[in-house]
Amino acid sequence: MRTSKADIEALLPDVGTGLRAAAATLVPFYLAAKYEVPDLAITALGGWLGTLADPGGTRTVRAKWLLAFAASGALAYVCAGFCGRSLFGSILFLSLVACFGSLFRSVGASASTFGTMLVITAVIAVERRGASHLAPLYFGAGVLWAVMLSTIVWPMGRHLPVRRRLATLYMDLGALSEAAASALRDGVPAGDARWIAIVKERRVVREAMEHARGVAVASRGRRGGETPMGSNLRLMLGIAEGAFPLLIALTEHVEHLSANERSPRFARAFRRFAIACERVRRALLATGGARAKVRREAPEPPRSEGRADLAQRLVTASRIALDLARSLDAPTNDPRLREPLSPATRTFRDDLRTFVDALSVRSTFFRHAVRVACAVAAAVVIGRAVSSEHATWVTVTTVAVLQPYPGASWKRAAERIVGTALGCLLAVVISLVVRSPLLVAASMLPLSVAAVATKPRSYRLFTFFLTPVFVLLAQKGHDDLRTVLMRFVDAVVGGGIALVAALVIFPSWEKRRLPELLASAIRALEGYARAVLGPHPGVEEAARHVAADAARRTAGIAFGEAETSLERFIAEPGRKPEHAADAMQLVTHARRLAGALTATEASTRADGLRESETLAYVQAVTEAAEAFARDGKATRAVPAPPLDSRDHAAPHLDRVVHHAAILAGLVAIREGVPELAGHWRSMNEPPPSDTPVRRRHGDGDR
């Protein structure tokens, strides 16, 4: 696999997190051994779990989450001291914590990690029945040690590479705008060397944009879920990508204006954009306390999209970017940016409402919480029977492997078992080759760093690097191979319990959910087509654009849910390949039809009759595709596509018809309709070499 520079940049924060995790864990372990204070091992545990529970973001956000985790973990230790005295009390306590902690998954990625770490803390606290009554304080001290490392000693944020690249991008955009403002103020004529130099400087902006995009993609790939800061940073990247062509268009426009036509407002707009870009750069590189509070402004009314308003659109884009940069971790309430269910737009009230809504038997999150609670109860009983000395390993493995969907649990179990097996072999090699206790302890440092650094992208590697650390800590001597064997057996037993729970307790098979989600996505696509092509008598153009924009977002969310379900379906065991292929084709061609509709939305309305014919055809196609997605059958025949006409001036409608016909052909070829199937093949296969290619309208002689 090729590793790019962007991947390396995105990896650096995780390496830093790994070093912090090693310091938070190994330093208390060293002090426990040196000063013979066994309870300091609980401090090491708090430091390790606190580092893994760190959600990233600003210092304030990280401190809030980790302080809440310290208090919750300490409370778990207190309750475990009372409930862990009997098997029934242990099962009841851990089941309740597992159910409650799993429900946090409904709120978001950070809350999900918090809940998982809390469940693991409770499991370890219950199994440490002989721990000191000061165990809650030792654990809280460990988490506070992790807080200090992440916010004071080494406050390197997970999104820092993206912020740095975005800061460079906005700096280059501001420099380009400042150069245009300077040329306008000096009255430089068109074609002068200074304008040519400005054109050449665009290459610098494009390179900065590509670098920022690459680092953003690599960074997002290393995260298990979305966060407000990550969402806002990607919004800022999108704003920069949209402002760059505006800046180019405005520069070329004012360059060729006469001296009398060069209004001072253009120079002011360039200057204001440059100043805003510099402020965005400073805000991106500032830490949490240095970032000024954003001043909320009322949204501007919609403006026309003509050249006369290019300057205003450019300034508006920079103002939105500045608002985001000043409050990267704050909700985004600007209606021009607000996306439903986006982490960057959520408030505490939204999260609380989501959590309460999850308390329903029909909720996937609630069913998963019940599943985890039952699995944890079984793991406690089986773990104490199979591995009395290390029963924690069985229960922790069960919690880590069990996912809301059987396919994901199956994959996680395989990765856990394979990674544990290889890690146990590495632990045997280290224990046989390295005899010095100091060198053994030193070998744990790179292993801990590698475990945390690889966790966001490879659970198998995370388990592989983590297993030797805990095996070496638990071994009673260099020849203690029994501990190694028990670690592997516990991983197999815990993974097996998780798989049984996933397959038996409220199994959420995607083969049942995928058809309805595909049908919903196609239904949303039909609504988008109606918003773009349908007649809207008496509706103003601005209101029509707003309705189309809302329909496009609804379709985008529906397609995102369908694609997520498709990914889970592909990971499920026993699936039929032809079903996955059909679903993939439906999503692909429906998305292309949506893209053609978007191009139509941005085009000039020229032929109402032609739009009506196209809409009728698209509605017929989507109705057949929706029925096919839901139950594998087309309930109505799809008419032939409208004939092309050389007279109409709307080639964008041809693209809509083209992609709709491909979607109709996909349904027909599975239903065995020869006419439409042949039409679908003709649109997707190149013609034979001896067959003349019919010239499409608008093509001249070549």
d(CA 72, CA 67): 9
Q: How many Cβ atoms sit within 10 Å of the Cβ of residue 395?
A: 33
Signed CA dihedral, 501, 504, 505, 511: sign only = positive
d(CA 610, CA 619): 14
Side-chain half-sphere CA neighbours of 464 within 13 A: 13
d(CA 126, CA 523): 50
Q: What is the pTM of this model?
A: 0.66
- pLDDT of 411 reads 86
Long-range pairs, 283-290, Cβ under 8 A, ≥24: 283/322, 283/325, 283/326, 284/163, 284/164, 284/166, 284/167, 284/170, 284/325, 285/163, 285/164, 285/167, 287/58, 287/59, 287/155, 288/58, 288/59, 288/60, 288/61, 288/329, 289/59, 289/60
**Residues 92, 459, 106: CA angle, nearest 5 degrees:** 50
pLDDT band at 69; cut points 50, 70, 90: very high
Model confidence at 205: pLDDT above 70: yes
Same domain, 149 and 218: no
Model confidence at 682: pLDDT above 90: no
Residue 652 counted as domain residue? yes
Residue 698 counted as domain residue? no
Least confident of 161-165, 276-280, 572-576: 572-576
DSSP E strands: which ranges in 257-335?
A: none
- pLDDT of 341 reads 39
Q: How many Cβ atoms sit within 10 Å of the Cβ of residue 698?
A: 9
- pLDDT of 2 reads 43
- pLDDT of 46 reads 92
Model confidence at 284: pLDDT above 80: yes
Tokens 């959910």 -> residue: 513
DSSP character at residue 189: P
- pLDDT of 396 reads 95
Element (H, E) at 491: helix 481-504
Model confidence at 113: pLDDT above 70: yes
- pLDDT of 683 reads 38
Q: What does each C-alpha distance from 323 to 212, 297, 346, 689 come to in angstroms?
A: 19, 9, 16, 58
pLDDT band at 478; cut points 50, 70, 90: low
- pLDDT of 678 reads 39
Model confidence at 661: pLDDT above 70: yes
Model confidence at 380: pLDDT above 90: yes
- pLDDT of 491 reads 93
Top-ranked range on mean pLDDT: pick from 351-355, 501-505, 584-588:
501-505
Same domain, 64 and 184: no
- pLDDT top residue among 338 and 101: 101
Q: Which of 178, 183, 204, 197 is nearest to 274 (CA)?
A: 178
Same domain, 323 and 463: no
The string of pLDDT tens digits covering residues 389-447 is 888 999 999 999 998 888 888 889 999 999 999 999 999 998 888 877 778 778 888 99
SS3 402: coil
* Mean local confidence (pLDDT), 318-345: 62
Angle of the 109-127 helix axis to the 59-83 helix axis, nearest 10: 30
Same domain, 210 and 77: no
**Percent of the chain's residues with pLDDT above 90:** 22
Model confidence at 190: pLDDT above 90: no
pLDDT band at 692; cut points 50, 70, 90: very low
The string of pLDDT tens digits covering residues 632-651 is 665 566 677 776 544 544 56
- pLDDT of 290 reads 45
With beta carbons less than 8 A apart as the criterion, state whether 340 and 224 touch: no
The string of pLDDT tens digits covering residues 580-593 is 777 788 888 888 88
What does the block give as tokens for 469?
């650390």
Q: How many Cβ atoms sit within 10 Å of the Cβ of residue 385?
A: 11
- pLDDT of 691 reads 38
Mean of the per-residue pLDDT values for the chain? 78
Side-chain half-sphere CA neighbours of 136 within 13 A: 13
Q: Which residue type, as a one-letter code, is found at position 604?
A: T
Residue 224 counted as domain residue? yes
d(CA 700, CA 486): 76
Side-chain half-sphere CA neighbours of 399 within 13 A: 29
Model confidence at 285: pLDDT above 60: yes
- pLDDT of 254 reads 86
With beta carbons less than 8 A apart as the criterion, state whether 452 and 438 touch: no
The set of residues, in sequence order, having a beta carbon less than 8 Å from that of 555 and lying 6+ positions away, is 521, 524, 525, 527, 528, 594
- pLDDT of 695 reads 34
d(CA 222, CA 233): 15
What are the residue ranges of helices labelled H in 327-436? 348-357, 364-386, 391-401, 406-433
- pLDDT top residue among 656 and 502: 502
Residue 646 counted as domain residue? yes
- pLDDT of 58 reads 67
Model confidence at 272: pLDDT above 70: yes
The string of pLDDT tens digits covering residues 296-318 is 444 444 343 333 467 877 888 88
Model confidence at 336: pLDDT above 60: no
Signed CA dihedral, 365, 370, 373, 375: sign only = negative
Same domain, 74 and 111: yes
Q: How many Cβ atoms sit within 10 Å of the Cβ of residue 105?
A: 24
DSSP character at residue 343: G
Cα dihedral: 292, 297, 303, 308 (round 10): -50
Residue 637 counted as domain residue? yes
What does the block give as tokens for 367?
């069913």
Q: Distance of alpha carbon 173 from its chain centroid, rounded?
A: 27
- pLDDT of 218 reads 63
- pLDDT of 684 reads 41
* Mean local confidence (pLDDT), 218-227: 55
The set of residues, in sequence order, having a beta carbon less than 8 Å from that of 308 and lying 6+ positions away, is none
What does the block give as tokens for 489?
């057996």
Q: For 297-316, give one letter per residue: b (16+ CB within 10 A) or e.
A: eeeeeeeeeeeeebbebbbb
| Domain assignment of residue 150, given as a range | 1-158
d(CA 520, CA 71): 43
d(CA 361, CA 92): 20
d(CA 209, CA 483): 52
Same domain, 281 and 345: yes
Model confidence at 295: pLDDT above 80: no
Same domain, 650 and 521: yes
Model confidence at 681: pLDDT above 50: no
Of 493, 508, 523, the residue at which a domain comes to its end is: 508
Of 444, 473, 508, the residue at which a domain comes to its end is: 508
pLDDT band at 562; cut points 50, 70, 90: confident
Same domain, 45 and 140: yes
- pLDDT top residue among 168 and 347: 168
Of 126, 158, 190, the residue at which a domain comes to its end is: 158
Same domain, 504 and 522: no
Model confidence at 327: pLDDT above 80: no
- pLDDT of 262 reads 82
The string of pLDDT tens digits covering residues 614-624 is 888 888 888 88
Q: Which of 562, 527, 533, 531 is nearest to 547 (CA)?
A: 531
Same domain, 502 and 521: no
Least confident of 381-390, 580-589, 606-615: 606-615
Same domain, 151 and 164: no
Q: How many Cβ atoms sit within 10 Å of the Cβ of residue 564?
A: 13
How far apart are the two ends of the chain, measured CA to CA in Å? Answer: 43
Same domain, 550 and 486: no
- pLDDT of 92 reads 94
- pLDDT of 246 reads 82
Residue 64 burial (C-beta neighbours within 10 Å; 0-12, 13-18, 19+): middle
Residue 371 counted as domain residue? no
Tokens 């083209």 -> residue: 658
- pLDDT of 242 reads 80
The string of pLDDT tens digits covering residues 539-557 is 676 677 778 878 887 887 8
d(CA 23, CA 554): 46
Q: Which residue type, as a one-letter code, is found at position 674?
A: P
Residue 197 counted as domain residue? yes
d(CA 389, CA 74): 23
Residue 372 counted as domain residue? no
Q: What does each C-alpha distance from 83 to 88, 96, 128, 200 come to in angstroms?
A: 8, 12, 12, 71
The string of pLDDT tens digits covering residues 126-151 is 987 666 788 899 999 999 998 888 87
- pLDDT top residue among 458 and 381: 381
The set of residues, in sequence order, having a beta carbon less than 8 Å from that of 640 and lying 6+ positions away, is none
DSSP character at residue 53: T
How many distinct structural domains can be found in the chain? Answer: 4
* Mean local confidence (pLDDT), 161-186: 89
